[in-house]
Amino acid sequence: MQTSTATTDLVSRLRSTIDGAVITPDDSGYNDIRTVVMGNFDGRPAAVARPADDADVARIISLAADSGVPLAVRNGGHSGAGHSTNDGGLVLDVRDLDEVRVDPDSRTAWAQSGVTAGAYLATAGEHGLATGFGDAATVGLGGITLAGGVGYLSRKYGMTIDELLAAEIVTADGQRLRVDEDNNPDLFWAIRGGGGNFGVATRFKYRLRDVSQFTGGILVLPGTPETITRFVAEADAAPDELSTIMMAMVAPPMPFLPQEVHGQLVVLAFMAYVGPADEAERALAPFRAIATPLADMVAPKSYLEMFPPEAEGYHPIAASRVFFADTIDQSVGEAVIESLQASTAMMSAVQFRVLGGAIARVPSDATAFAHRNRKLMINVAAMTQDVAGLAEQEAWVTKLAERLQQGPGAYTGFLGVDGAERIGEAYPPSTYERLVAVKRQYDPRNLFRSNHNVVP
Ligand SMILES: Cc1cc2nc3c(=O)[nH]c(=O)nc-3n(C[C@H](O)[C@H](O)[C@H](O)COP(=O)(O)OP(=O)(O)OC[C@H]3O[C@@H](n4cnc5c(N)ncnc54)[C@H](O)[C@@H]3O)c2cc1C
């Protein structure tokens, strides 16, 4: 890798200025630290700077802005667009900002932005409390909160951004700002869905919810057009206490599935009910009646148990496409099943998240996530052994997505490399115009552009 004078100079200035670590290709640990979750991306930054505190974040931002060296911001490393790494640039990696402070009395928590969802939930869980993030423990609070956050508590309590009470942001000019409804409200609006466009978040304050009574787990049904459509209809009709994430897929050889089911089409759903166990049973009964379950592990448990440890060193290479729909009928179920049967991928899946509930009770213009009235978020994904196989899977994913997508719309949390051309789908015109105005105020030179970019 070619290192420019600007980069060499930046590295030496970072080393002499910040309290945190600066890791370059010559340092041990560089490979681990530079690696991001999705195996699609193999960026080799010239340096990874890991701030020790907010003051370090401001110093790194100022030095990066002066140097002109491309900057990426990284937390949990899950970006499906490769935004949290680069080749030859600087990565500002917030993972050492990892403190969580729970206040059970006020049912709020302050967390530094480098914390993962799993670490936050483990701390909050000691008090029987939680904030809703997504379905993965290793996702970083920084990335998921700024994108929006759809998960197991969304129908009951809304998206992560609906539980966000305040944040602290370091902007492109190195200012450290408190943002909430009263302080910099325009910026508070923009960061709730507008991603990393406006600065580096160092802290978030969230509302906490009582999850001491919780029922959840995996339910597996046979994969047919009918089970898909009925599942979606039941999830839509279910009380808000129940959120579901369902995947139509070919069953992998999971130990909890009978051997004869391996390789068969299934509907594999994560069920999450917040509230008393008897109410949960009533809400779950219609799903269990769709077909005889192939596996049913839905039971009272702690909320944290929805997030089992993830395999270390797992870096899937996948093509994916996210979009919205509002109604699905038998023909949709048939298209999904036919496409999955024809898939040449190592593994392919169509994921359905029924929205509604508290998500839809927030006005569309209250945050930068505007798709409040959409019923269903769908994610089509296909994994390959190596990046050479991506083009074939991109074609499969795109074809099925075009068949299933109803109207424009995208969620930036799941946007991949198609994000650049679909930014207008993620942000409808009135949202985008407002985001541009905020961007012009806080980052007119577009220092923060390794993201689903709002161009000033
Ligand atoms: C396996 C998997 C499961 C997922 N499940 C869900 C889910 O259930 N629900 C859901 O809503 N999303 C989900 N996502 C999407 C996820 O929320 C987004 O990819 C999110 O951006 C990841 O955040 P991160 O911090 O882990 O990623 P990173 O790659 O570290 O960050 C992504 C981008 O966010 C911005 N960013 C991160 N931290 C900061 C910060 N402190 N300040 C400013 N900008 C920052 C940067 O632009 C960065 O490039 C999932 C993704 C994966 C890969």
Ligand 1 center from residue 74 Cα (angstroms): 9
CA–CA dist 52, 268 (Å, integer): 41
Cα–chain center distance at 36: 14
| Residue 348 vs residues 78, 145, 250, 384, 394: alpha-carbon distances, Å | 19, 27, 7, 9, 11
Per-residue pLDDT tens digits for 16-39: 999 999 999 999 999 999 999 999
What is the chain's length?
A: 456
Per-residue pLDDT tens digits for 243-297: 999 999 999 999 999 999 999 999 999 999 999 999 999 999 999 999 999 999 9
**Shortest-distance Cα residue to atom 21 of ligand 1:** 143
pLDDT for the residue 416: 95
* Of 114, 143, 163, 101, the residue nearest 367 (C-alpha): 163
Ligand 1 pocket check for 414: Cβ under 6 Å: yes
Q: Which residues pair with 353 in a beta bridge?
A: 245, 377
Q: Which amino acid is at 413?
A: G
Ligand 1 center from residue 117 Cα (angstroms): 10
Ligand 1 pocket check for 113: Cβ under 6 Å: yes
Report whether pLDDT(419) > 80.
yes
Task: pLDDT band for 311, please (50, 70, 90 cuts).
Answer: confident
Ligand 1 center from residue 418 Cα (angstroms): 16
Task: Kindly report the average pLDDT of the chain as a whole number.
Answer: 97
The 10 Å CB-count burial string (b at 16+, else e) for 428-438 is: eeebbebbbeb
Report whether pLDDT(308) > 70.
yes
Report whether pLDDT(348) > 60.
yes
Q: Which amino acid is at 418?
A: D
pLDDT for the residue 203: 98
* Of 427, 266, 439, 248, the residue nearest 348 (C-alpha): 248
Which residue out of 56, 93, 144, 153 has the highest number of ligand 1 atoms within 8 Å of its CB and is therefore the one to mutate? 144
Mean pLDDT of 441-451: 98
Which atom of ligand 1 has the smallest separation from the CA of 75? Answer: 30
User: Is-contact 169 201, C-beta < 8 A?
Assistant: yes
pLDDT for the residue 4: 86
CA–CA dist 86, 69 (Å, integer): 11
pLDDT for the residue 312: 86
**Shortest-distance Cα residue to atom 23 of ligand 1:** 143
Whole-model pTM? Answer: 0.97
Which atom of ligand 1 has the smallest separation from the CA of 150? Answer: 11
| Residue 255 vs residues 251, 252, 258, 263, 295: alpha-carbon distances, Å | 11, 9, 8, 13, 11
Dihedrals φ, ψ of 360, to 5°?
Answer: -80, -10
Ligand 1 center from residue 71 Cα (angstroms): 17
Report whether pLDDT(2) > 60.
no
User: β-strands 299-300, 295-296: how paired?
Assistant: unpaired
Which atom of ligand 1 has the smallest separation from the CA of 414? Answer: 15
Task: pLDDT band for 58, please (50, 70, 90 cuts).
Answer: very high
Which residue out of 53, 84, 359 has the highest number of ligand 1 atoms within 8 Å of its CB and is therefore the one to mutate? 84
Per-residue pLDDT tens digits for 118-142: 999 999 999 999 999 999 999 999 9
